[in-house]
Structure 1
Amino acid sequence: MDTTSRQEEQNHATVSKMNNDRLASLYQKIAEPPRLLSNAAAKAFCCIFRVPQSLLEINGKSYQPHIVSIGPFHHGEPHLRMIEEHKWRYLGSLLSRTEPKGLTLQHYLKSIEPMEARARECYSETIHLSSDEFVEMMVLDGCFLIELFRKNGRVVRFERDDPLVNMFWVIPFMVRDFLRLENQIPYFILQHLYDLITTSEDRQESVKSLSLLALDFFNNHMMRPPEAIAKLHNLTGKHLLDLVRSSVIPADLSEPVSKHDTPTHLIHCVSKLRRAGIKLNNPRKAFESFLVIKFKRGVIEMPQITIDDFMSSFLLNCVAYEQCHKSCSKHITTYATFLDYIVNTYKDVEYLADRNIIENCFGNDEEVANFINNLGKDVVFDPEKCYLSKLFNDVHVYYGNSWHVQWASFKYTYFDTPWSFISAFAALILLILTLLQTLYSVLSYYHP
């Protein structure tokens, strides 16, 4: 065989090997399951998600933990190291009470190991931690949360020199971080650890439920009456964000199962509603969830909501959670969209504040209006299946009453403020004087 033929065969073999390697690489990619959005994300038990990029671009900082990481998504980030060190201190404090009674660190780790696979499936992406690292993180983060809740509930005492308590800025930041969608661990892990701890203590008196301790902790920033929290002692959730979200949704506030025969009409902004004679009032009842909105005889009744750093972060993360989780209700999304519909400008916020519907602890009225508009931005919303669909249609029917709208618009234009009333009254006097002058001129012409 000559040199040219041998060279051609070698080239052909090289090309063939390259093609085979390329095909093998492509088949390997086909066989590999998705990692950034795993197949588990579509299942009902998956409940901890990365926030969608569209929402991150609008309110990015509201979804990222500022001082403490819980769970794997932000585990080990340098700016969260400070509280990470205190987690170990809290774990040591817990072990100092449970180890003498036979519950050691080894027992905590061994009890969580059978739950590892189930816990991993709660996350929407593949967790790149070894089995030991993952279990250790679940125990450390879970015990830290439980110890903090119990100390806040005075089940055990805070240490006198505990900086997490003595530095007043720390707890408010942690409260917000504990309710960020990306910063969660499964609630069944917390419940299991809590049951271990309380069983080891063998207390004679009644033990508060984990949900009650957790809700008491967050209620320091939500300011709900203690009796309203006490009713929720059996409440549970997928994680802490879901627990607190569920606590603000009344049991009788259900969403329609099927769509209505007629399309649902969306609601107008505050200024247009007022021109149509529709008022917005605070019902001023004993505690009622801010989600309970009613429409009666031309009046929309809305319980007061406080817009501050905590509530803004909570609402944003609830909306992100409802956008990602296919099985949970969309109550917070509906409320956020409703606010976005009725608020267009700072004047709408100003009116709602005057009616004691919004308590503005966030900034000026324009900042609140911008927040509300961003809250409902790029959010998927089905008005046909929302719990406010009937209210939307009732308001639309009232708004469409032509004679009523014309009379209300007249009153709004000419009698809404003292100055508009004075201007209208002056214009009326001027019109009457002009008519009288014309009448006298006509009479003087015929009867000089």
Structure 2
Amino acid sequence: MENVPRNHEADIKNNSSEKELIALTEWIQRCQFDIVRSYSQRPLTEERIIFCTDPLLREVNKEAYGPNVVIIGPLCCIEQFSNDIQTQKLIYMDSFLKRAEKKASLKDFCKLIKDSADRINGCYEITHFRLYDRSRSHMKQAKPFSYNANSRPFIKMIAEDASFIIELFLRAYNKEWREERDFIFDGPGKMHNIRRDLFLAENQLPFFILKGLYELAFAGNPVFPSFLDLTCHFFRPYYNQHTSIQAPNGCHGRAKLKDAKHFTDLLRTLQLPSSKRPEESLEGGEVQGEYLYSAVLLREAGVKFKVSTNRCLLDIEFNRNSGELKIPPLRLDELTESFFRNLMAWEQRYYPHETLICDYIFVMEYLIQSTEDVDLLVRKRILINQLGSHKAVVTLFNKLCKHVAPMETNHYSDIFRKLNAYNAVRHHSWIAILKLQYFSTQWSGVATIAAIVLLVLTLIQTICAVISL
């Protein structure tokens, strides 16, 4: 009987030790999870080009990063979707196979995907995906799991999505290639929403597999354009938002576009300056406490805002001799936030030392601090505001830079310094105030001149009267 308390005491100690061990194990697992998560925040490698967006960025506006209509690829972060677009994927896939049947069959396409499966799988930053049963109309979120890239579901998914994209691009390129009563092109706003979903950073297929399938089907056929031209035509509304993407002197280099990793990367490239242009204003420099004043304050300092004729959104130029700040026009609509957020997220992860888009947004945020700044830029035709109010524009640029840390170097630092130096010269502001207050309109200028003439005549009359005494 004397051993019973001792055994009980030993059991208590053993249970306590076991609980401590479990707690320690759980803590180690949480640490491992945090380590894996921290690795996911590193710049992407050359291979892993498709990723889940930083949770901090999603906190500001998670809707900007997720698809509304069409899911592409295995990396998906939404809980449900409609069966309508999945049905259209199969319809479009059937049309694509019929177009390609003279050169390739479904078996040929699946073989190409299977042979490239490991490379495709390697393009995604993580190995656990949310893979959905796309045969049902509404799906609850599936548990992440590892899968074999050579498996039938993976090959089927890539084949369906790639065929849908290629057929969609073909129908957008040529109206004669569309079917009667086309669900996407006949429906109001559907193309607008699908085009938006296809530029999302986490809703992508690698560019190389799309190009490979397209060339397998249509290479050497003069009726069909190259896949690059087809893609650029589809995304033409996002080429500086107002000019033709096929212009021979465009701001992109064709070689750079051919090397695009996916559609998000291609759209970023389309915004960049031409490699032939001397990038004097886009050479990165240190920004040590530099501050750029708002548009209204710069105008009061004598800076003249002009809309630029340059094709590239990033081509901001300042001429110290004339005091002219030239900025390309930017159209703002309901998709602008999603567009720039995805380009910035991709750029921060894959081009951490070439954050040209982020630098551009920081410049615009500096310039746009109030509705008066927006009004000035709208009147100068630099901003084309389709958001409904000037306040919405201010809110947009303030939100875009949230949780986006500015780099120590900014590619517009030279313009910062020139503008601040121009602002420091006092007579520039005196001349500007004189123009704004007394010569802002034709009538105010006439009235000012008349007042000066009257003052001079009165002074002459007074002097003559004094002399005659």
Give the structure-1-normalised TM-score: 0.82
The amino acid that maps onto 2:417 is N
Answer yes or no: is the 8 Å Cα contact 2:264–2:343 preserved in 1: yes
Distance, in Å, in 2 between the alignment partners of 1:24 and 1:13 is 16
Answer yes or no: is the 8 Å Cα contact 1:40–1:124 preserved in 2: no
Which residue of 368, 378, 398 maps to 2:422?
A: 398
Which residue of 364, 374, 390 maps to 1:365?
A: 390
User: How much has 1:167 moved relative to structure 2?
Assistant: 0.9
The secondary structure found in structure 1 opposite 2:384 is strand
Tell me which protein shows more helix as a share of its residues: 1
Which residue of 111, 115, 137 maps to 2:157?
A: 137
The amino acid that maps onto 1:323 is Q
1:178 aligns with 2:184: no
Partner of 1:108 in structure 2?
A: 109
Moved more, 32-41 or 122-131: 32-41
The secondary structure found in structure 1 opposite 2:61 is helix
The amino acid that maps onto 1:337 is F
User: How much has 1:325 moved relative to structure 2?
Assistant: 2.8
User: How much has 1:57 moved relative to structure 2?
Assistant: 3.4
Partner of 1:7 in structure 2?
A: 8
Aligned positions, number: 434
Which residue of 285, 294, 307 maps to 1:269?
A: 294
The percentage of counterpart residues that share the same residue type is 26
1:209 aligns with 2:226: yes
User: How much has 1:174 moved relative to structure 2?
Assistant: 0.6
Q: How does 1:250-329 map to 2 (within 5 A)?
A: 250-252=273-275, 259-260=285-286, 263=288, 265-284=290-309, 288-296=311-319, 297-327=322-352, 329=354
Partner of 1:376 in structure 2?
A: 401
Distance, in Å, in 1 between the alignment partners of 2:377 and 2:31 is 55
Which runs of 5 or more structure 1 residues have no equivalent in the other structure?
none
Answer yes or no: is the 8 Å Cα contact 1:268–1:341 preserved in 2: yes
Partner of 1:91 in structure 2?
A: 93
Distance 1:373 1:428, change over 3 A: farther
Partner of 1:409 in structure 2?
A: 433
Answer yes or no: is the 8 Å Cα contact 1:38–1:124 preserved in 2: no
User: How much has 1:102 moved relative to structure 2?
Assistant: 4.5
Answer yes or no: is the 8 Å Cα contact 1:41–1:124 preserved in 2: no
CA displacement, residues 307-350 of structure 1 (integer Å, 9 cap, x when unaligned): 12344432222122223334572121111111111111222112
Distance 1:95 1:146, change over 3 A: same
Distance, in Å, in 1 between the alignment partners of 2:8 and 2:308 is 90
Partner of 2:138 in structure 1?
A: none
Moved more, 230-239 or 142-151: 230-239
Partner of 1:47 in structure 2?
A: 49
CA displacement, residues 290-314 of structure 1 (integer Å, 9 cap, x when unaligned): 2111111200011222212344432
Distance 1:307 1:40, change over 3 A: closer
1:240 aligns with 2:241: no
The secondary structure found in structure 1 opposite 2:415 is helix
Distance, in Å, in 2 between the alignment partners of 1:2 and 1:313 is 71
The secondary structure found in structure 2 opposite 1:79 is coil
User: How much has 1:214 moved relative to structure 2?
Assistant: 0.9
Answer yes or no: is the 8 Å Cα contact 1:50–1:182 preserved in 2: yes
Which residue of 237, 240, 243 maps to 1:224?
A: 243
1:348 aligns with 2:373: yes
Distance, in Å, in 2 between the alignment partners of 1:25 and 1:57 is 27
User: How much has 1:414 moved relative to structure 2?
Assistant: 4.1
Which runs of 5 or more structure 2 residues have no equivalent in the other structure?
130-143
User: How much has 1:26 moved relative to structure 2?
Assistant: 5.2
Distance 1:257 1:308, change over 3 A: closer
Give the structure-2-normalised TM-score: 0.79
Partner of 1:63 in structure 2?
A: 65
User: How much has 1:258 moved relative to structure 2?
Assistant: 6.3
Distance 1:148 1:414, change over 3 A: same
The amino acid that maps onto 1:227 is Q
The amino acid that maps onto 1:113 is K
1:338 aligns with 2:363: yes
Distance, in Å, in 2 between the alignment partners of 1:429 and 1:258 is 51
Distance 1:426 1:344, change over 3 A: farther
Distance 1:157 1:37, change over 3 A: farther
Distance, in Å, in 2 between the alignment partners of 1:40 and 1:275 is 43
User: How much has 1:188 moved relative to structure 2?
Assistant: 2.2
Which residue of 376, 386, 394 maps to 2:410?
A: 386
Distance, in Å, in 1 between the alignment partners of 2:86 and 2:249 is 32
Answer yes or no: is the 8 Å Cα contact 2:66–2:78 preserved in 1: no
Distance, in Å, in 2 between the alignment partners of 1:362 and 1:397 is 34
